Structure formats: C-alpha cells, structure tokens
Amino acid sequence: GAVVSQHPSWVICKSGTSVKIECRSLDFQATTMFWYRQFPKQSLMLMATSNEGSKATYEQGVEKDKFLINHASLTLSTLTVTSAHPEDSSFYICSAPPKGGTNEQFFGPGTRLTVL
Amino acid sequence: EDQVTQSPEALRLQEGESSSLNCSYTVSGLRGLFWYRQDPGKGPEFLFTLYSAGEEKEKERLKATLTKKESFLHITAPKPEDSATYLCAVRANDYKLSFGAGTTVTVRA
C-alpha cells in the first residue's frame, strides 16, 4: 500500500514557540491531504484539508491563524502550530488519498506534540 | 451532519473467543464505510472499505459487513496480536472522513 510519512514523530516545545510538522506521501502524489488531531482515548477529529496550490480549508472551530497549513508540492504538506500552548498538546495525524486514485486514505504514523 | 457511533467502547476477549464490533452511521449519500486498526501511538492502518449494503470483506480473522444503517466487524478466534483500537469512518461527498470514537479490543492469552 501507499506510504505516508510524518516528521517529527514527537516534539516537545515551550509554550509560546511555533512547531512545524511535515507530512509526505512517499510513493504517490496527493493534491489533497488532511490533518487530524487526536486527544487521548478519543477519535480522530478533522482539523483542515490541505490543497496543493491553494489555501487550506479549515473545519469549524479550528483557528486558521494558529494552525498554518502549506501544501508546497504534490508530496508535501506542513502544519505549523503557532504560539503553542499546553492545550495544543495532542497527537497530530495526516492522511492522503492518492491523486486521481482509489477511495482509500493512507495515514501517516502521527506526531506527538507536547507543549510545556 | 454525518454521525458515526461505535459500540461497545471496550471489549475484552479471551483468545479464541469470537465477537463482533458495531458501527452505526447516519450519512447523506454514503460514498464508503471504512474500517481502520490503530495501535497505541500510531496512525490508523487501513483494513476495509465497504460501499453498498450486503457487501462483505474478509482479511485473516476479520470480516466486515455492511447494511444500510450499520456495519459489523467480526473477529473470529482472535489472538493477542488482534488487540488494538478499531475505528469506523464514513465518507459522504468529498474525501473527508467522519470517524467514530472506536472500540478498544483486548485479547488475553
């Protein structure tokens, strides 16, 4: 199956700093990627849809100025958590459906963010 | 708004004890119902996609079925390595997936 990678796999930062998380599709192109957040023992909540060559679309209640998304190429999307606070600590997961491909979505391994 | 409800929340099984997980959904225009497996600290791993009522798919000890209102994931003769959280998700129009809260399965040897 298709492979999606994320970097870093975990990060610890101080409150007020910004953190960038990368999501890459390794063996396929993706015009669209999705960013999810998962709190402990809860399910995945869609945060935003990342679109190559255009602005991301955010789900209701997600602050676009706090969670900056850039879909730089057909294989890379980045999520930057700006001015992070402890309540932003969570597990961030990206996913991608292959361009023009199947109905499947392939998920990355996730990034654990801890804000002190 | 799409809704996905999974039950039970947690399931503890003895090795070899078969059981079923339920996923009830409400969606306008189902474009696919997905089952994923998620291990602690990892991203979801794709298991099945079902598209229409009556469809069934199997993979090793897992079998997924679909009706117009719900899906079941049957685990036959589970082994400890089947312990994981199983997530159900539906897709309506675009590629967006709406997830249920998951069922955490623990299989004891």
| CB contact (8 A) between residue A103 and residue B31 | yes
* pLDDT tens readout for residues B7-30: 999 999 999 999 999 999 998 888
Residue closest to A106 by CA, chosen among A24, A21, A11? A24
d(CA A29, CA A97): 9
Please list the residues that pair with A4 across neighbouring strands. A25
Q: Do A105 and B97 touch (CB under 8 A)?
A: yes
The answer to whether the Cβ–Cβ distance between B46 and A1 falls below 8 Å is: yes
pLDDT-based confidence at A41, cuts 50/70/90?
confident
* Residue B46 contacts A where some CB pair is shorter than 8 Å: yes
Whether chain B has a CB inside 8 Å of the CB on A60: the answer is no
pLDDT at residue A63, as a whole number: 94
Chain B nearest C-alpha distance from A107 (Å):
6
Cα distances (angstroms) measured from residue B99 to each of A54, A72, B6:
26, 27, 9
How many angstroms separate the CA atoms of A25 and A104, rounded?
14
- In this prediction, what percent of chain B has a pLDDT beyond 70? 100
Question: pLDDT tens digit string along A46-100?
Answer: 999 998 888 999 999 999 999 999 998 989 999 999 999 999 999 999 998 876 6
On the question of pLDDT at B66 being above 90, the answer is yes
Query: Which residue is closest to B39 within chain A, CA to CA?
Result: A109
CB nearest to B44's CB, from A42, A107, A112: A107
Residue ranges in chain B assigned as alpha helix (H):
none
The upper half-sphere exposure of residue A87, i.e. CA atoms within 13 Å in the direction of its Cβ, equals 1
Identify the closest residue of chain A to B50 by CA–CA distance.
A103
The whole-angstrom separation of Cα B4 and Cα B29 is: 14
Chain A interface includes B48 (CB < 8 A): no
Q: Which residue of B has its CA nearest to A98?
A: B95
Supply the mean pLDDT for chain B: 94
Q: What is the structure's pLDDT at A100?
A: 62
Contact indicator for B84, B28 with CB cutoff of 8 Å: no
Q: Map residue B80 onto helix, strand or coil.
A: helix
On the CB side of B90, how many CA atoms lie within 13 Å of its CA? Answer: 24
pLDDT number for residue A7: 97
The shortest C-alpha distance from B43 to chain A (Å) reads: 4
* Closest CB to A44 among B31, B45, B99: B99
The alpha carbon of residue A65 and the mean position of all alpha carbons in its chain are separated, in whole angstroms, by 15
3-state secondary structure A12-56: EECCCCCEEEEEEECCCCCCEEEEEEECCCCCCEEEEEEECCCCC
For A101-115, the pLDDT digits (tens) are 556 788 999 999 999
Report pLDDT for B28: 84
Nearest CA in chain A to B97: A46
Q: What is the predicted pLDDT for the residue at A38? A: 94
Give the one of A4, A97, A112 whose C-beta lies nearest to B95's C-beta: A97
Instruction: Say yes or no: A23 contacts chain B, CB-CB below 8 A.
Output: no
Stretch A37-45: mean pLDDT: 90
What does the pLDDT read at residue A101? 58
pLDDT for B96? 84
**A91/B contact by beta carbon, under 8 A:** yes
